[in-house]
């Protein structure tokens, strides 16, 4: 008997030890999973900003060698294809991630993902925010919806490839359209996953998948461009475009794998925490869960036509807003080359000028602008969650922080581009402009003009994201629509004059300036955000003026050359960061 008790005691100790060991192991898994779980606004913004910097650097590593391989004419062909692709991409998927992000954030603020029966949830009341659905239900319905949309749009794109090429006056780019058409399908599916994770305030999947896509595009695109160039410039551009489709397919595969790992970790963490909570209760109060075996009811629990319609309804204003500027770029791709062509300018030269404006200059402008977009992406779920809870004080505080971050980041690049425009273009695109000083002068002036867009686009994105997160997406749509109309009117009136291609760049700046001003008004009117002139604003203005003076001084004092431009940038950046830190710009104003 005593031996039996001793054995039981030893067995009990062993079980306790094993349970502690398992608990410790699961605790490590929980802590590891916590890194990927809910990130704060600032962490999410920094994550996306870091990924944005890496992606833009990889983008430069792709665009610059590509421009040197296919020259300005090849980049003109590349840019004639991309606006149509970007427009179809935005129509099919642009508003969905933001809508899903808002809905998942609202769902998280109200309930946990407990597999609530979707059929019962929709009967309780009229659904307005999607908070009656779980994040998993939202993702499943979004994937079905976007998969169908992606297939349809890709099919239509293939069908209209050669008619569009004829309309643009260059039938040769028809096959290039065929290479990029399947990418729309994969991007649609990617949009669903990114919106889901952003709503959970986990920006890591979005950030890492973007990097995966860029790495694949750089490696595959440049390789194909070099290999196919002996066949002609059209085939080189075809190879570079085909790499986009390849990168999106692999980006989608990466997100699927990440999601499966995420669900496995979530299930393990939830089971572990549930086991601990269950064992804290008395035996009489412990519950026994019975798994659902009815596959038909399990399917109905996740699929809802009402939810799909809600996603469409939520995303429509955002999609329309996001479509405005790409639609303008499509208009430019159809009109600018034709309008620039005259007795003194051939089609080839007009295509080169369009390639400089939309390819060379816009590539440089979009690199720092992505940082403002990263902050804006983190703002959407933050706004949705805080306003859902009625926490206006924290919304005011975090919104002010987002605006400060956007101003500080974009101001540096705007001033640096304005002062060192010529040196930056020679540093990055020397092969394309080495033998053509006239085009170098044009590219320099275009970059100086459009440098103001960096600040305007970054700040406008923050205010747009706030309005989208608050469910007021139609107002930023109105703002960009007004700006677009002004741009087109200005451009059409002056492009045939001596202003020429400069009318396009000035029109772009006018477009975002008008949108920025209107968005400030809408945020104040509908969200009650108070933008006061504080001591911190005085500091930022002072730092900006100091940076401008330093950059001008460096330009005149240091000799010309690639390494001197890089050295000037490093000196200016370190001085700028030191000034922001020393003046405590991010300290709360009293």
Could you read off the pLDDT of 388-407 as tens digits, one per residue?
777 778 888 888 888 888 88
| Cα three-residue angle 255-258-260, rounded to 5 degrees | 110
Helix (H) or strand (E) holding 131: none
Q: What is the pLDDT of residue 291?
A: 44
Q: Supply the pLDDT for residue 513.
A: 94
Average confidence (pLDDT) over 144-169: 87
What average pLDDT does this structure show over 411-421?
A: 93
Instruction: Label residue 191 by pLDDT band (50, 70, 90).
Output: confident
Dihedral (Cα; 486, 487, 493, 496), 10-degree rounding: 180
Q: With CA atoms as reference, report the closest residue to 82 among 102, 108, 59, 48.
A: 59
Q: How confident is the model at residue 572 (pLDDT cuts 50, 70, 90)?
A: very high
Q: Which of 35-44, 102-111, 215-224, 306-315 is predicted least confidently?
A: 35-44
- Measured between alpha carbons, how far is 42 from 444 in angstroms, rounded to an integer? 35
Mean pLDDT over residues 53-76, rounded?
A: 80
What mean pLDDT is predicted for residues 152-171?
85
Q: At what angle do helices 305-340 and 135-167 cross, to 10 degrees?
A: 30
DSSP 341: -
Instruction: Please give the pLDDT value at position 509.
Output: 94
**How many Å apart are CA 426 and CA 500, to the nearest integer?**
23
Average pLDDT, stretch 132-151? Answer: 86
The pLDDT, as a whole number, for residue 549 is 92
Q: Is 382 a domain residue?
A: no
The parent domain of residue 85 ranges over 30-268
pLDDT band at 360 (very low <50, low <70, confident <90, very high): confident
Taking the alpha carbons at both ends of the chain, their separation in whole angstroms is 76
pLDDT in tens, 498-518: 888 899 999 999 999 999 999
- pLDDT > 60? residue 526: yes
Tell me, what's the pLDDT at 9? 53
pLDDT tops 50 at residue 115: no
DSSP state of 37: S
pLDDT at 580 over 60: yes
The pLDDT assigned to 411 comes to: 92
| pLDDT at residue 283, rounded to an integer | 46
pLDDT at residue 155 above 70? Answer: yes
CA–CA gap between residue 386 and residue 473 (Å, rounded): 17
The number of folded domains in the chain is 1
How confident is the model over 360-373, as a mean pLDDT?
Answer: 78
- Tell me what the mean pLDDT of segment 113-124 comes to: 43
Question: Does residue 288 register a pLDDT over 60?
Answer: no
Give the largest CA-CA distance in the chain: 111
Q: How many helices (H) and strands (E) does the chain have?
A: 21, 0
> Does residue 379 lie in a domain region?
no
Residue 546 Cα distances to 337, 363, 458, 541, angstroms? 41, 27, 21, 9
Is 571 a domain residue? Answer: no
Of 72-76, 113-117, 389-393, 436-440, which gets the smallest average pLDDT? 113-117
Is residue 202 in a domain? Answer: yes
DSSP three-state, residue 473: coil
Examine residue 97 and state whether it is found in any structural domain, yes or no: yes
Which pLDDT score, from 0 to 100, does residue 246 have?
Answer: 92
Answer whether residue 144 is part of any domain: yes
Any domain includes 142: yes
Q: At 137, is the secondary structure helix, strand, or coil? A: helix
More confident residue, 203 or 193: 193
Least confident of 106-115, 169-178, 337-346: 106-115
pLDDT higher for 541 or 318?
541
Note the pLDDT of residue 4. Answer: 53
Q: Which two tokens stand for residue 483?
A: 């700006």
Type and span of the H or E element at 220: helix 204-228
Shortest CA distance to 70 belongs to which of 237, 223, 182? 237
Token output for 235:
């085939």
Task: List the Cα angle 330/333/339 in 5-degree steps.
Answer: 130
* Pure H helices in 451-495: 452-469, 474-494
Tens-place pLDDT, residues 68-100:
888 778 888 887 887 777 777 776 666 777 788
Structural element, H or E, at residue 344: none
- Model confidence band, residue 31 (pLDDT cutoffs 50, 70, 90): very low
pLDDT of residue 27: 45
- Rounded CA separation 590/584 (Å): 13
Q: How many Å apart are CA 138 and CA 107, to the nearest integer?
A: 9
Closest CA to 469 of 44, 33, 37, 117: 44
Residue 540 has pLDDT above 90, yes or no: no
Q: What is the pLDDT of residue 556?
A: 86
Measured in degrees and rounded to the nearest 5, phi and psi for residue 494 equal -120, -10
Mean pLDDT, rounded, of the chain: 78
Position 471 in a domain:
no
Share of the chain above pLDDT 90, in %: 19
Whether residue 139 contacts residue 196, with contact meaning beta carbons closer than 8 Å, is answered with: yes
């Amino acid at each position: 008997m005593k031996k039996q008790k001793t054995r039981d005691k030893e067995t009990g100790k062993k079980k306790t030890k094993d349970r502690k060991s398992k608990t410790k192991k699961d605790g490590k898994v929980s802590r590891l999973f916590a890194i990927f779980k809910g990130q704060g606004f600032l962490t999410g913004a920094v994550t996306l900003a870091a990924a944005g910097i890496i992606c833009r650097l990889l983008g430069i590593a792709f665009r610059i060698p590509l421009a040197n391989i296919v020259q300005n004419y090849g980049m003109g062909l590349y840019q004639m294809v991309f606006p149509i692709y970007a427009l179809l991409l935005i129509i099919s998927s642009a508003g969905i991630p933001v809508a899903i992000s808002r809905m998942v954030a609202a769902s998280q603020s109200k309930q946990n993902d407990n597999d609530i029966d979707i059929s019962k949830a929709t009967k309780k009341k009229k659904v307005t925010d999607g908070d009656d659905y779980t994040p998993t239900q939202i993702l499943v319905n979004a994937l079905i919806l976007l998969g169908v949309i992606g297939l349809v749009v890709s099919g239509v794109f293939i069908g209209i490839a050669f008619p569009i090429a004829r309309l643009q006056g260059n039938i040769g780019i028809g096959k290039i359209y065929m290479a990029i058409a399947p990418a729309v399908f994969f991007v649609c599916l990617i949009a669903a996953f990114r919106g889901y994770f952003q709503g959970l305030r986990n920006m890591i999947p979005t950030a890492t998948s973007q990097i995966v896509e860029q790495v694949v595009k750089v490696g595959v695109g440049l390789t194909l461009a070099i290999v196919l160039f002996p066949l002609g410039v059209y085939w080189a551009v075809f190879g570079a475009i085909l790499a986009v489709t390849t990168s999106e397919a692999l980006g989608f595969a990466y997100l699927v794998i990440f999601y499966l790992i995420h669900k496995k970790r979530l299930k393990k963490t939830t089971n572990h925490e549930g086991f601990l909570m269950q064992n804290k209760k008395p035996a009489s109060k412990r519950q026994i869960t019975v798994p659902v075996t009815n596959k038909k009811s399990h399917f109905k629990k996740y699929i809802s036509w009402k939810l799909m319609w809600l996603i469409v309804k939520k995303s429509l204003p955002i999609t329309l807003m996001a479509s405005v500027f790409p639609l303008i770029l499509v208009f430019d791709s159809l009109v600018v080359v034709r309008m620039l062509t005259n007795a003194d300018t051939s089609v080839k030269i007009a295509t080169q000028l369009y390639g400089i404006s939309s390819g060379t200059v816009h590539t440089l402008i979009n690199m720092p602008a992505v940082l403002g977009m990263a902050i804006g992406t983190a703002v959407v779920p933050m706004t949705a969650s805080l306003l859902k809870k009625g926490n206006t004080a924290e919304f005011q505080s975090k919104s002010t922080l987002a605006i400060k971050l956007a101003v500080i980041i974009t101001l540096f690049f705007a001033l640096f581009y304005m002062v060192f425009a010529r040196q930056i273009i020679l540093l990055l695109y020397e092969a394309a402009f080495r033998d053509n000083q006239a085009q170098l002068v044009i590219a320099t002036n275009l970059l100086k003009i459009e440098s103001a867009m960096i600040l305007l686009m970054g700040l406008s994105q923050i205010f747009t994201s706030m309005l989208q997160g608050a469910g007021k997406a139609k107002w930023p749509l109105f703002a960009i629509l007004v700006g677009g109309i002004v741009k087109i009117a200005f451009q059409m009136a002056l492009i045939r004059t001596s202003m020429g291609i400069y009318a396009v760049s000035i029109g772009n700046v006018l477009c975002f300036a008008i949108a920025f001003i209107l968005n400030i008004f809408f945020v104040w009117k509908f969200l009650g955000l108070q933008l006061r002139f504080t001591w911190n604003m005085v500091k930022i203005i002072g730092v900006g003026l100091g940076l401008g003076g330093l950059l001008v001084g460096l330009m005149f004092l240091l000799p010309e050359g690639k390494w001197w431009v890089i050295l000037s940038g490093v000196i200016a950046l370190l001085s700028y960061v030191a000034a922001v830190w020393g003046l405590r710009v991010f300290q709360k104003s009293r």
